[in-house]
Amino acid sequence: MTKKATKGILLVQLGTPDSPSTPDVRKYLTEFLMDGRVIDIPYFNRMLLVKGIIAPTRAPKSAKVYKTIWDKETGSPLMYYSVLQAEMLQEQLGEEYHVELAMRYQNPSIEQALKKMEGMFLESIRVIPLFPQYASATTGSVIDKVMELMRKWQYFPEVSFVSNYCDHPLMIDVFADHAKALDLSQYDHFLFSYHGLPVRQLGKVDPSGTLNCPDTGCDSCKAEVNPYCYLSQCYATSRAIIHKLGLQEGSYTICFQSRLGKTPWIQPYTSDALQRLAKEGVKKLLVFSPAFVADCIETLDEIQVEYAHEFKAAGGQEVHLVESLNDDPKWIEALKNLAINNKN
């Protein structure tokens, strides 16, 4: 007789279009960018910007890119690895646990996943957003959505959230292992490229408004001032990988990609870093993308194709990407640790 699961684990990834078609990509972009935590401007202005300009113009271009990374059998790489991670975690946790996967935007939705879990009368639900570094636009949005939906429940199991795991030892080990597999000695420089955020969103993490965060960050902020600052957590992740690999000062650069619009975003920008390094004579570049736990459009295209082209055009020769966490057993062990130990 199968034992009844008593503990629920909800893994939540950002999301992916249902297909690489322009209508599905437009639908995905619209839902994503209409989130007030992603584009934090008044609703009416956001609606005009997203539905009137961004989604209609970007959807056809993004659809073409998605088609280049879309597998005929497995579909979206992000979905493929996310499903695999959930299945592997379920196997590791055993029948006492029930693991559900949801996407913050599109399918399977958080609402669908929670509906299944509601009917199971679980004793506890542990929500693990699949973003190592906390940001209001990612982890914060997931937590916000879960609380909004669960507010309608007539009973409440014990609910907990993982806010970040930016320097989790097992996660750091995987990034280091994947880098070592490429022979570090052949590279002139190492790039740590994180997803960017508007500078204004950094200050919003401090309700008192007293920290006056600089737009270039502080590598000691996580431990000493504000543990929820996205920028400080990016530094913490980089610092842990750098220490694990024994990289020398001056051999690496921390930068930020995927900016949108004309307002200031966290700097230095990855594009600017690539131009600078090429002019300085760097030829072979190894890029880490530790804001993502699975390879996706931001790694497989933006880094491996777009940035590689920019680097070569500026005089560089090669850009190699460190594989993301994907289905590495050690990463699944890290997820198990987060699920069971209730520790970040």
CA nearest 196: which of 262, 268, 244? Answer: 268
Is 17 in contact with 25 (CB distance < 8 Å)?
yes
Backbone angles phi, psi at 286, to 5 degrees: -110, 125
- Up-side HSE of residue 155: CA atoms within 13 Å toward CB? 11
Do the annotations mark residue 168 as ligand-binding? no
- Sheet (strand 189-195) strand order: 252-257, 189-195, 284-288, 318-321
Cβ within 8 Å of residue 244, ≥6 positions away: 172, 173, 176
User: 336: closest CA among 91, 74, 76?
Assistant: 91
273: phi then psi, degrees, rounded to nearest 5 = -65, -40
Structure tokens that stand for 64 in this block: 């073409």
Rounded to whole angstroms, how far apart are CA atoms 247 and 180? 12
Strand-pair partners of 10? 100, 127
Residue 178 assigned to a binding site: no
- Cβ 214 vs Cβ 264: under 8 Å: no
> Which has the closest alpha carbon to 132: 306, 299, 294?
294
Three-state secondary structure string covering 166-230: CCCHHHHHHHHHHHHCCCHHHCCEEEEEEECCEHHHHHCCCCCCCCCCCCCCCCCHHHHCCCCCH
Annotated binding-site members? 195, 298
Annotated binding-site members for Fe(2+)? 195, 298
